[in-house]
């Protein structure tokens, strides 16, 4: 079994992005997510892409979706398209994005792979609701379907892992529960079929609640006899 780990990076500048990418690659990240909403300027995305030997994911979350980008929706989408044109292999598109299908079509035209994502910051919905979201993401043309919930109790991990086991037979999916109680799902989702899981580079640069560092994730997999 090959488990893939994506390191999520929140750089403020292009130079910092390049430095953090180098550190993530030294930790053997399989993919690297660049949180473009953390950048102060978005005029040198090609330089970021050129500094990486690892597939990059462009994510640009608005403030209403718990991100840091406060500009207009058209600007947010323009930045994602710029990332796609300048060497980012994957682009994260939220399922609630206005004119989502048009954006996905444009991304595919320039050779980027869309990750269609859904986040529930309040709970972990029922299995039937998670399945409905997955079907919507598949229908939208997702290369990877990302469904992230919030664990309110330990049992939510069981629900998520059950969903991963079933959903991974339909599509490439990335699914786990956020929060301290959701850590088991972050760690174990790839074991149950998730395409990859997320980790932070270190304790200082976590991009979501309950996120483990790549060092913690690798040590846990090693202890479990997984690679």
pLDDT tens digits, one per residue of 139-156: 999 999 999 999 999 999
For residues 113-143, one letter each, b for 16 or more C-beta atoms within 10 angstroms of the residue's C-beta and e for the rest, the string is bbbbbbbbeeebbeeeebbebbeebbebebb
**pLDDT for position 204:** 85
- 42 classed as catalytic: no
- 119 classed as catalytic: yes
Q: Would you identify the CATH topology of the domain 5-223?
A: TIM Barrel (3.20.20)
Catalytic pick among 42, 146, 159, 172: 146
**pLDDT for position 205:** 84
**pLDDT for position 208:** 79
Catalytic pick among 119, 159, 172, 183: 119
**pLDDT for position 62:** 95
Segments in the chain below pLDDT 50: none
């Amino acid at each position: 079994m090959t488990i893939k780990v994506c390191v999520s990076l929140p750089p403020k500048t292009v130079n910092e992005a390049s430095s953090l990418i180098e550190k993530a690659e030294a930790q053997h990240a399989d993919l690297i997510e660049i949180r473009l909403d953390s950048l102060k300027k978005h005029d040198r995305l090609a330089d970021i892409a050129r500094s990486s030997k690892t597939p990059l994911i462009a994510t640009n979350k608005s403030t209403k979706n718990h991100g840091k980008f406060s500009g207009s929706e058209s600007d947010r989408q323009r930045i994602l398209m710029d990332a796609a044109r300048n060497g980012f292999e994957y682009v994260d598109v939220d399922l609630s994005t206005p004119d989502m299908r048009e954006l996905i079509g444009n991304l595919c035209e320039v050779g980027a792979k869309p990750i269609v994502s859904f986040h529930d910051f309040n709970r972990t919905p029922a299995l039937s609701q998670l399945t409905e979201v997955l079907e919507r993401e598949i229908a939208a043309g997702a290369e990877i379907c990302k469904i992230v919930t919030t664990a309110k109790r330990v049992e939510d991990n069981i629900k998520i892992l059950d969903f991963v086991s079933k959903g991974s037979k339909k599509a490439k999916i990335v699914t786990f529960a956020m929060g301290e109680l959701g850590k088991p799902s972050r760690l174990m989702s790839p074991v149950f079929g998730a395409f990859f899981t997320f980790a932070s580079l270190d304790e200082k640069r976590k991009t979501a609640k309950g996120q483990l560092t790549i060092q913690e994730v690798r040590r846990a997999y090693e202890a479990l006899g997984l690679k």
